[in-house]
Amino acid sequence: MTAAPPPDRPTLSVRDLRLAIAGRRTPTPILRGVSLDIAPGEVHGLVGESGAGKTTIGKVILGIQPSQARITGGSVLFDGRDITHLPERERRGLMGRGMGLIPQDPMTSLNPAYRIGAQIADVLRLHLGLDRSAAGSRALELLGDVHIRAPERVLRQYPHELSGGMRQRVLIAVAFACRPKLIVADEPTTALDVTVQRQVLALIKRMQAQEGASILFVTHDLGVVAKICDRVTVLHGGRVLETGDTRRIVEAPGHDYTRALIAATPRHDRPGDLLWPVPEALMARLDAEALAYDAARAPGGREYG
């Protein structure tokens, strides 16, 4: 153990992470050597189309990847410690406490059978050891923090009595409940109405600033990234194409694919613009690169067991 951690040590450091889904005959590679760093207090955007593997990275970090998924190489360092091969009990101690999740679909992510209060309090009681009443009052405080009106009433309500925006606020409260160092926000605004989207984004940003947490912000929307993220990683086919400051990436993208993504993003300030799909030639080139990677890393596919 080193004494004091260096001040610039990243909260999260993903190093050359490779992952495959076990198939009947051959495993399907999903992540092809992904690396990214998130500094304390940084909001890091992870951008890509569906199937790029961005949600999978979030799940691996949280430890909730599907059981068929096998990590075939690389590491995930949380606070300097590799968490990919932690014993189950230790891993669970980190989940919810050291890191939190803001899920994609607030409509289905709250348990319909339990009251809102219970679903915030349970994580507090599990990790902080609060008793029933202490957890209840902390839950009330959290609901106030995420700007829910009449929080006393909402605590006693069931999920089906709340709107989507309200539910996402509740889930944000849950994510921040134990003051985690890292939050994975998995397309947290995709399922919401446009008007609500903006409020929720602002709320996440404010909570993040207030709590000083780092955020891995997974999205396909570069417009959202430009609003909230400090740095961005562009992902395609399970590979990182480029990483950099948001401003630099948006204004002077270094990769053709990033440029194509920007062209395909609707801009609120110029709604009349034509949107360009990603050119087919570029897609073919990226696919070929991914296959070349597989061939080089795992001759005969044997690495993915």
Partner 1 sequence: MSWSFLLRRLLLAIPTLFGVAVIVFVLLRVVPGDPIAMLIGPGATEAGIAELRRLYGLDESIALQFVYYLQDLAGGDFGTSISMRQDVMELVLGRLPVTIELCLVAMSMAVLLGVAMALAGSYWRGRTGEAAVDGAAGFILAIPDFLWALLFILFVVVFALDGLPISGRIGHDVAFRGATGFLLVESLLRLRFDAFGSVLLHTVLPAAALALPLAAILARILKASIAEAMTQDYILMARAKGFSRARIVCREALRNALVPTVTLTGVQFTFLVGGTVLVEKIFSYPGIGNMAIDAVINRDLPLIQGLVLTFAVLFIAVNLLVDMSYALLNPRMRHG
CB of 9 to partner 1, least distance (A): 24
Sheet strands (E) in 187-288: 214-219, 231-236, 239-245
Query: Of residues 141, 161, 245, 251, which one binds partner 1 by CB under 8 A?
Result: 161
- Among 48, 53, 73, 103, interactor with partner 1 by CB under 8 A: 103
Tell me: does residue 100 bind partner 1 (CB under 8 A): yes
| Of the candidates 240, 198, 241, 255, the residue with the CA atom closest to the CA atom of residue 221 | 198
Q: Which position among 17, 60, 110, 204 is part of the footprint of partner 1 (CB under 8 A)?
A: 110
Among 69, 171, 207, 224, binds partner 1 (CB under 8 A): 171
Which of the ranges 19-27, 143-151, 154-162, 221-229 carries the binding residues for partner 1, by CB under 8 A? 154-162
Q: Residue 211 interacts with partner 1 (CB under 8 A)?
A: no
Q: Which of 43, 46, 57, 94 binds partner 1 (CB under 8 A)?
A: 94
Shortest distance (Å) from residue 12 CB to partner 1: 15
H helices, E strands: number in the chain: 12, 10
Q: How far is the CB of 200 from partner 1 (least distance, A)?
A: 17
> Alpha helix (H) ranges present in 233-301?
246-251, 256-263, 280-297
Asked if 115 contacts 44 with a C-beta cutoff of 8 angstroms, the reply is no
Which of 118, 22, 126, 131 minimizes the C-alpha distance to 66? Answer: 22
Q: Which amino acid is at 1?
A: M
Strands (E), the chain: 12-21, 28-38, 43-47, 69-78, 81-82, 99-102, 182-186, 214-219, 231-236, 239-245
Tokens describing residue 299:
């001759």
* Separation in Å, CA 257 to CA 43, 84, 230, 236: 22, 30, 20, 9
Among the listed ranges 28-36, 118-126, 145-153, 296-304, the one in contact with partner 1 (CB under 8 A) is: 118-126
Q: Which two tokens stand for residue 86?
A: 């932690």
Instruction: Using CB under 8 A, pick the residue from 22, 39, 126, 128 that binds partner 1.
Output: 126
Residue 111 interacts with partner 1 (CB under 8 A)? yes
The answer to whether 36 touches 240, Cβ cutoff 8 Å, is yes
Q: Judging by DSSP bridges, how do beta strands 239-245 and 231-236 pair with one another?
A: antiparallel
Residue 166 vs 226, nearer CB to partner 1: 166
Please tell me whether residue 113 binds partner 1 under the rule CB under 8 A: yes
Q: Give the x/- contact pattern for partner 1 in 41-70, rule: CB under 8 A.
A: ---------------------xxx------
Place of tokens 């609060």: 130
Q: Is 129 in the site for partner 1 (CB under 8 A)?
A: no
166 is a site residue for partner 1 (CB under 8 A): no
The minimum distance between CB 258 and partner 1, in angstroms, equals 30
228 binds partner 1 (CB under 8 A): no
Question: How far is Cα 269 from Cα 255, in angstroms, rounded to an integer?
Answer: 24
Whose Cβ is closer to partner 1: residue 156's or residue 267's?
156
Residues that bind partner 1 (CB under 8 A): 62-64, 92-97, 100-101, 103-105, 108-114, 122-123, 126-127, 158, 160-161, 171, 174
